[in-house]
């Protein structure tokens, strides 16, 4: 019991003499994540043609980001010469792709690390029409049962938010060329 009193007295004395100074408020870092690259490809599955966009997000900050991922975003795609021919593609958690480090719903991005979002668009427009029906196929002969459209320029931009605590990341506008393919119409005689 006697050894307990000096220890308690020492703890009380150290507590009483402790610094009254408060910690400065935490300054939220700026420009921590960036949408650094956007890649475009086109392809076709048995279900039909598609456009694929791969968004690369890089951690520019010196600390690791780790938290519950709640991706909210949209990609806007439109024909350059006819902006009314457009589509809005929702982006969510299910678009995460390698090299993203995700366990359950927790995403980790180390300093200098990246995560990727792979988004497919199956050519359905906001007004319900199919893009393939609006392309110009004139002057092209059918090959292998398919007819190829003339190439068209399209524009895409996106805004993506990975975590609730952070704001939206904006992509640069991407201008790309798309060529559509559809089954050649059979001529009846």
When pLDDT is cut at 50, 70 and 90, the band that residue 144 belongs to is confident
Q: What distance lies between CA 37 and its chain's CA centroid?
A: 10
Q: How far apart are CA 92 and CA 167, in angstroms?
A: 15
- Burial class (CB within 10 angstroms; exposed 0-12, middle 13-18, buried 19+) of 54: middle
- Evaluated on CA atoms 59, 60, 66, 72, the torsion sign reads negative
pLDDT of 79-134, one tens digit each? 999 999 999 999 999 999 999 999 999 999 999 999 999 999 999 999 999 999 99
Q: Which domains are seen in the chain, by residue range?
A: 30-180 (2.60.40.2360)
Instruction: Concatenate the DSSP letters of all residues of 63-83 into one string.
Output: S-EEEE---EEEEEEEESS-T
Cis peptide bond prior to 99, omega within 30° of 0: yes
Read off the tokens for 162. Answer: 């990975």
In degrees, rounded to 5, the angle at the alpha carbon of residue 96 between the alpha carbons of residues 92 and 33 is 85
pLDDT of 20-32, one tens digit each? 667 666 556 666 8
Place of tokens 């700026």: 30
Q: Residue length, the chain?
A: 189
User: With 80 as the cut, is the pLDDT of residue 18 above it?
Assistant: no
Strands (E), 19-170: 33-45, 48-59, 65-68, 72-79, 86-91, 96-97, 101-103, 106-109, 114-121, 146-148, 152-161, 169-170
When pLDDT is cut at 50, 70 and 90, the band that residue 185 belongs to is confident
Q: What is the pTM of this model?
A: 0.80
């Amino acid at each position: 019991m006697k050894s307990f009193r000096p220890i308690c007295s020492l703890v009380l004395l150290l507590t009483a003499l402790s610094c009254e100074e408060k910690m400065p408020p935490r300054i939220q870092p700026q420009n921590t994540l960036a949408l650094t690259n956007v890649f475009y490809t086109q392809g076709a599955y048995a279900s039909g043609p598609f456009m694929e966009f791969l968004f690369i997000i890089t951690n520019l900050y010196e600390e690791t980001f780790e938290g519950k991922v709640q991706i909210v975003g949209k990609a806007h795609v439109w024909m350059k010469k006819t902006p009314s021919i457009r589509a809005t593609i929702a982006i969510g958690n299910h678009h995460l792709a390698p090299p993203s480090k995700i366990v359950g719903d927790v995403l980790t991005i180390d300093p200098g690390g990246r995560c990727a979002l792979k988004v497919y668009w199956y050519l359905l427009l906001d007004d319900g029409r199919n893009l393939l029906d609006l392309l110009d196929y004139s002057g092209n002969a059918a090959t292998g049962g398919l007819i190829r459209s003339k190439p068209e320029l399209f524009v895409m931009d996106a805004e993506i938010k990975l975590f609730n605590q952070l704001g939206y990341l904006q992509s640069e506008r991407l201008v790309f060329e798309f060529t559509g393919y559809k089954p050649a119409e059979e001529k009846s005689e």
